[in-house]
């Protein structure tokens, strides 16, 4: 297992200067096993970054279908809108449709 509570004192939801968590990056880079491990260790699935984008937004934006499926199974909300920037007002579902991604088919 990649993450074990005894091996780290850092929060699974620690944010960087962009407000992103490890889950945002794992989703954006299609790291399905990392997404699963983070969720198992209590990562907040719908945590927004500074632009209001969740891990699901990033997975849909990049058409990472397996990650989308894993996040939805973990309870991610596909209708949460981003709040700032070029994607403001758009949900993960909107991004999936915009990209004509297969990820829209699983919602």
Return the structure tokens found at 21. 């968590």
The residues near 69 (Cβ < 8 Å, ≥ 6 apart) are 103, 106
Which tops the pLDDT comparison, 6 or 41?
41
> Residue range 24-32: average pLDDT?
98
CATH classification at residue 11? 1.25.40.20
Task: Give the percent of the chain with pLDDT over 70.
Answer: 84
pLDDT, tens digit, 9 for 90 and up, residues 54-83: 999 999 999 999 999 999 999 999 999 999
- Expressed as residue numbers, the domain containing 16 is 5-106
Evaluate if residue 101 carries a pLDDT over 50: no
Identify how many contiguous H helices and E strands the chain contains and give both numbers. 5, 0
Domain count, the chain: 1
Sequence-ordered strand ranges (E) for the chain: none
**pLDDT value, residue 98:** 86
């Amino acid at each position: 297992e990649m993450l074990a509570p005894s091996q780290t004192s850092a929060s699974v939801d620690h944010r960087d200067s962009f407000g992103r968590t490890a889950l945002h990056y794992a989703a954006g880079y299609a790291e399905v096993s990392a997404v699963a491990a983070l969720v198992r260790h209590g990562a907040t699935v719908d945590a927004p970054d500074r632009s209001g984008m969740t891990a699901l937004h990033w997975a849909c934006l990049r058409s990472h279908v397996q990650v989308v499926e894993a996040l939805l199974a973990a309870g991610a909300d596909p209708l949460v809108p981003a709040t700032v920037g070029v994607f403001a007002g758009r949900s993960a579902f909107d991004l999936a449709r915009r990209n004509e991604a297969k990820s829209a088919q699983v919602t």
